[in-house]
Structure 1
């Protein structure tokens, strides 16, 4: 966008210079430089507005929203890992899935305890989203190396989302018990994400 706009301004200026005297050309050059600076300034301001708007859209979830999102994430991870126990081919993928069942069962317990300690108490809703249910259905139809690839692709994506959720709530959450739980879970999710990315490349 910047290049196209700059080229349009430059083209107009060059055409005008063809009929100008040397003195007029100097004035035109100065005007062109001033115009370029003005255009750059406007575009930079626009970029800043867009960046600020994107940041504003990334709002901190409420305690209920966070608890629900965390519960759904854990439920999805556990169900997907159970499929890997039977459908996966790679021993490394099966080992990763085994770790997921243990870790996300522990995470579920931590979130439930933190939600219960909130005032008023929060009851997490672990019902899978439509997208999560669709992803599980796709995984069920796969076996062997094909399953391994799809499962690890999904694990990398899911843990990126989970890490963003945990970090965001740990930093800006309003329910103290859930905020603490998010802070404790985030480093674990980060380790899982690194492992998932490594296996996804194999």
Structure 2
């Protein structure tokens, strides 16, 4: 294969990787094995909390009793972690702004849930909660191991056991 053509093929297949958001499980940092930046961590964690809270607010109305019970815990716990994150980030808000609304990907997942009711909603809600908590565990583990901000690393390590517990609860309810 000619070097110029090989380079063109390599660039073509790698372009989608660089088009991804830089944080979270699917971000370029994960793909290339780099540690996650503080800004990406804060953004991804805030989006995760917002998604889990908003989807749980829907579950409180559309889900069965099992979903409503789980949702109450998610709303309480994720609002608390969002508040704690805000307090930690507040002195550095210029360097690390918190997102004010969901990104397109998370919003699309909420929009899909809004179209469902009853058993169909409950099944989809728990599937989303499993996926969201798996991503959150990965995010917290990665930043806890390699993050550069000591206060946020400690926060990630503090949150991790509770998020793992949420994941196990979501998995047990998803079956």
Distance 1:119 1:82 in 2: 27
The superposition leaves residues 47-102 of structure 1 with CA deviations (integer Å, 9 ceiling, x where unpaired) of: xxxxxxx977232221111111100110111110010011112x111100010000
Higher deviation after alignment, 72-81 or 110-119:
110-119
Distance 1:132 1:121 in 2: 23
- Tell me which structure has the larger Cα radius of gyration: 1
Structure 2: where are the runs of 5+ without partners? Answer: 1-28
Extract structure 1 runs of 4+ deviating beyond 2 A.
Answer: 116-123
Q: Give me the TM-score of the superposition, normalised by structure 2.
A: 0.78
Structure 1: where are the runs of 5+ without partners? Answer: 1-53
Q: Which residue does 1:75 correspond to in 2?
A: 50
User: For the aligned residues, what is the CA RMSD?
Assistant: 1.9
Q: Which residue does 2:41 correspond to in 1?
A: 66
How many residue pairs get aligned? The number is 147
Q: Which residue does 1:176 correspond to in 2?
A: 150
Distance 1:66 1:55, change over 3 A: closer
Q: Give me the TM-score of the superposition, normalised by structure 1.
A: 0.68
Map 1:1-202 to 2 at 5 A.
57-89=32-64, 91-117=65-91, 122-201=96-175
Distance 2:135 2:30 in 1: 16
**Greater relative contact order, per chain length (Cα 8 Å cut-off, separation 6+):** 2
Distance 1:161 1:86 in 2: 25
